Chains A and B, each alone.
Chain A
Amino acid sequence: DQQVKQNSPSLSVQEGRISILNCDYTNSMFDYFLWYKKYPAEGPTFLISISSIKDKNEDGRFTVFLNKSAKHLSLHIVPSQPGDSAVYFCAASNGGKSGGTSYGKLTFGQGTILTVHP
């Protein structure tokens, strides 16, 4: 039972353009969503997060949008840079940002390989 799905295994984008990575979830109890970036031979690193009480969160070139009714979130990277090339994982939890025993018990999607061409 895949509760978090990233349906696009890969995405190729030209430098300077927008990258849009998508994620769908099925568990309506999820209340906190995160994006992680992973380079080869490294562990995932936190990128940006959003609480279910918001529909948008911005951090520099990265913006996450949450559509609760559609159980869908997306990560926008503008402008895309070659250094952004990595695997991006969407993750969700029902423990909020810092409370509850469920925090840290993240459910991850399968990942999307983003390639940004110079």
Chain B
Amino acid sequence: DSGVTQTPKHLITATGQRVTLRCSPRSGDLSVYWYQQSLDQGLQFLIQYYNGEERAKGNILERFSAQQFPDLHSELNLSSLELGDSALYFCASSRVGELFFGEGSRLTVL
């Protein structure tokens, strides 16, 4: 158990819809990272938040947005969903040192 909690674990939705993925970092970790893993691909960095502020951005689509709340949990919002958005979405947190990943949220867009 990494201490990073992600919900929901599985989500099935239709094209054009909007979903929200939630992440609770390890206790005390200020940084939250979001990664996307598509089929047969490595993890792709999407975005990082540090103590409520956006710190770094990767190849995140404009249809996607994220935020980190005062209690340090984070949400990733995916809108106008397309078939190609089907993937595993991982959240990770860190203090100093390596990243600790949650179990991921598997999104299926039909």
A residues bordering B, Cβ < 8 Å?
4, 6, 34, 36, 41-46, 49, 89, 91, 97-98, 101-111
Contacts and interface: CB of A to CB of B under 8 A. Distances in A.
A104 B31 contact: yes
User: For the complex, would chain A's binding face be called helix, strand, loop or mixed by DSSP majority?
Assistant: loop
Interface extent on B, as a size class? 20 to 34
Contacts of A107: 45
Contacts of A49: 98
Contacts of A45: 2, 101
14 contacts: A6-B42, A34-B98, A43-B102, A43-B104, A46-B98, A97-B96, A103-B94, A104-B31, A104-B92, A106-B45, A106-B99, A108-B42, A108-B43, A108-B44
Interface string B80-106: 000000000010101011111111100
Interface string B2-43: 101000000000000000000000000001010100001111
Given A106-B43, A111-B42, A43 B4 contact: yes
A46 B41 CA distance: 18
A6 B43 CA distance: 13
Contacts, number: 59
B74 interface: no
Contacts of A91: 43
Given A42-B103, A44-B43, A108-B42, A102 B98 contact: no
Given A43-B2, A89-B42, A105-B45, A97 B97 contact: yes
A89 B94 CA distance: 18
B41 A110 contact: yes
Given A43-B90, A104-B56, A105-B58, A110 B103 contact: no
A98 B45 contact: no
A32 B45 CA distance: 16
B48 interface: yes
Contacts of B94: 103-104
Nearest first, the 9 closest Cβ-Cβ pairs linking A and B are A43-B101, A108-B42, A46-B98, A108-B43, A98-B96, A110-B42, A44-B101, A105-B56, A43-B103
